[in-house]
A and B are shown apart, each in its own frame.
Chain A
Amino acid sequence: GAVVSQHPSWVICKSGTSVKIECRSLDFQATTMFWYRQFPKQSLMLMATSNEGSKATYEQGVEKDKFLINHASLTLSTLTVTSAHPEDSSFYICSARDSHNYHISGARSYNEQFFGPGTRLTVL
């Protein structure tokens, strides 16, 4: 259980084009999904939090007009990189939080984020 998929796995595009990346929770409903970006040899940086049926919340420094996020259903969020440029080349990873399934450990409960396999974007 708790599988998250991303499509495509990798994409190469020309500068100036737009690229759409899909993130799907396959066996659970996710009211919240997260989009991360990871440059080579660096850590993951949160770009935005995607909430089903409402606007995404972007982290400071992330251009909302460049990185369009849509979360139209409980199992799908999309990230569109508009007018991509070489500096947008990166590894994009989504995660989904199973909002209805809290894990219990001792007296504490939490709902974990489950990560997708990532999408490698190369902009020429």
Chain B
Amino acid sequence: ELKVEQNPLFLSMQEGKNYTIYCNYSTTSDRLYWYRQDPGKSLESLFVLLSNGAVKQEGRLMASLDTKARLSTLHITAAVHDLSATYFCAVSNEKLTFGTGTRLTIIP
């Protein structure tokens, strides 16, 4: 059974700081997604990572994938309040298995 774990579960950080969210998964998969969810809303797609070593960046967010380590990271650079949300990674093997989620709060 595929298991997907995120670390940390909760993250409170000051504006302007950098931080990384980690996503570990238990079985081989070379397709990984990152999503953002605002309170009461559905999912917003951020990144899809398809191959080992893939790196994608959008604004202050950068995602990477290491399929050998079964690890993906979501790096936040110079955080701003608008990035406050819950972030999920999800691993795809025909169907999506979601991580536990990381609730990110950016403090002014």
Contact = CB atoms under 8 A, between A and B. Distances in A.
Q: Do A and B come from one complex?
A: yes
Interface of A: 34, 41-46, 49, 93, 95, 103, 105-106, 108, 110, 112-118, 120
Contacts, number: 45
B48 A43 contact: no
Interface residues of B, number: 20
B96 A93 contact: no
Q: Which of B41, B42, B96 has the most chain A CB within a 10 Å cutoff?
A: B42
Contacts of A95: 96
Contacts of B69: none
Interface in B21-80: 31, 33, 40-43, 45, 48, 50-51
A44 B6 CA distance: 13
Nearest to A107: B51
A43 B98 contact: yes
Nearest to B31: A110
Nearest to B96: A113
A117 B38 CA distance: 11
Q: Which 10 A-B pairs have the closest CB atoms?
A: A118-B42, A108-B50, A115-B43, A43-B98, A44-B98, A117-B42, A43-B101, A115-B42, A105-B50, A43-B100
Given A43-B88, A115-B43, A105 B48 contact: yes
A105 B51 CA distance: 10
Contacts of A118: 41-42
A34 B95 contact: yes
A46 B96 contact: yes
A114 B33 CA distance: 12
A87 B97 CA distance: 23
B85 to A, nearest CB: 13
Contacts of B45: 112, 114-115
A112 B32 CA distance: 11
28 contacts: A34-B95, A34-B96, A41-B103, A43-B88, A43-B98, A44-B43, A44-B88, A44-B98, A45-B98, A46-B95, A46-B96, A49-B95, A95-B96, A103-B48, A105-B50, A106-B51, A108-B50, A108-B51, A110-B48, A110-B92, A113-B96, A114-B45, A115-B42, A115-B43, A115-B45, A117-B41, A118-B41, A118-B42
